[in-house]
Every structure is written in structure tokens, then in C-alpha cells.
Structure 1
Amino acid sequence: MATVRKTITITDQQDKWIKAQIAAGEFTNDSEYLRHLVRQDQSKNTKYSSLKTAITKGLESGISDSTIPDIMKKVEDRMKADGGL
């Protein structure tokens, strides 16, 4: 995978934080820590997009005629089929 060199500016407090993470053995250098943060942000945004899509789909599906017990039964059946119960 190709890499791109970036120059960033951070505060002294942020620099101390990064150095503390490295000193604690969490990361080996500044770049590794920053790549970790980017991966976390990418993951969070992927999850957010999936959730947003699911919410939109739910809202667009309209009001259900199912009762709460019907819904609970469907969930229980699905969980049993998926091995969750």
C-alpha cells in the first residue's frame, strides 16, 4: 500500500498526550498513533452510515400493524435461527 507524507500541527498538550501513549507502550511512534485514530474514525463513520441507512429504511417502511408480542416473537424466532438463543 502506498503511503503519503503529511505535515500536521498540534498543540504542546496534544504532543504530550501522544508521547504518553507511546511511552505506555500502546504505539511505537506518532504515525502509528495517528493512523490508529484515522482507522477508528473510519470505523465509526461506517457504523454511523449503516445505522442511518437502517433508520431511514425503518422510517420509510411505515407504521407496523404488528403488536408488541408479535414483534417479540419474530425477534425470538430470528435469534433462535441465528443461534443467538
Structure 2
Amino acid sequence: MTRQSITLANQNDEWLKKQVAEEEFTSKSEAINYLIKKARSQDDYVEFVRMKLDKAEKSGFSSKTKEELLAEIKKKLNV
């Protein structure tokens, strides 16, 4: 692993120390790596949702009523 030196705001450092003290993480490094992994995963999800929204917007508007759309969705889901 690559070693890094970072500066933390006091409240963030205190939060990290508390997480380690309460054994949520074994070290500050583990906590930071977890938070970065979580942020990256969230970025991936946001990109996925944007892609889906873009695709939906490009597909145009539907002339179906909400009842027709709901019936079509239920049929696809076998509900």
C-alpha cells in the first residue's frame, strides 16, 4: 500500500480516534480506506443513475396513461 500524509480538521481527527477507540475500525487508516471505498461506490451508483435518466429522457414521452403504464409494469413483473 502507498503511504500518505494528510492533514485532518480537528473534529474529523476526533471522530476517527473515537471510531478506533470503539473498535469500529482497527486503525485510522482502515477507517479512511473504508470511507474512500464507500465514496467511490456512491460515485459509481450516481453515474449509473445518470446513465439511466439520460436513456429515459432520450426515449421520449409516453402517450400511455399512468394506469396503462402500471399494468404494463405489473405484467412484466408477473404481479
Note whether the superposition's TM-score is higher than 0.5.
yes
Identity %: 27
What TM-score do you get using the length of structure 2 for normalisation? Answer: 0.90
Q: After TM superposition, where is structure 1 displaced by more than 3 Å over at least 4 residues in a row?
A: none
What TM-score do you get using the length of structure 1 for normalisation? Answer: 0.85
* Residue in structure 1 matched with residue 72 of structure 2 by the alignment: 74
Shift of residue 79, structure 1, vs aligned partner? 2.4
Which segment drifts farther, 9-18 or 47-56? Answer: 9-18
In 2: Cα distance, 1:8 partner to 1:53 partner: 34
* Residue in structure 2 matched with residue 22 of structure 1 by the alignment: 20
Instruction: Write the deviation string for residues 13-37 of structure 1: whole angstroms up to 9, x where unpaired.
Output: 2111100011111100011000010
Question: What SS class does the counterpart of residue 44 from structure 2 fall into?
Answer: helix
* Residue in structure 2 matched with residue 38 of structure 1 by the alignment: 36
Give 1:49's aligned amino acid: E
Gaps of 5+ in 2: none
Instruction: Write the deviation string for residues 12-69 of structure 1: whole angstroms up to 9, x where unpaired.
Output: 2211110001111110001100001011101110110000001111111111122211
Question: What SS class does the counterpart of residue 10 from structure 1 fall into?
Answer: coil
* Residue in structure 1 matched with residue 56 of structure 2 by the alignment: 58
Gaps of 5+ in 1: none
* Residue in structure 2 matched with residue 9 of structure 1 by the alignment: 7
CA RMSD in angstroms comes to 1.2
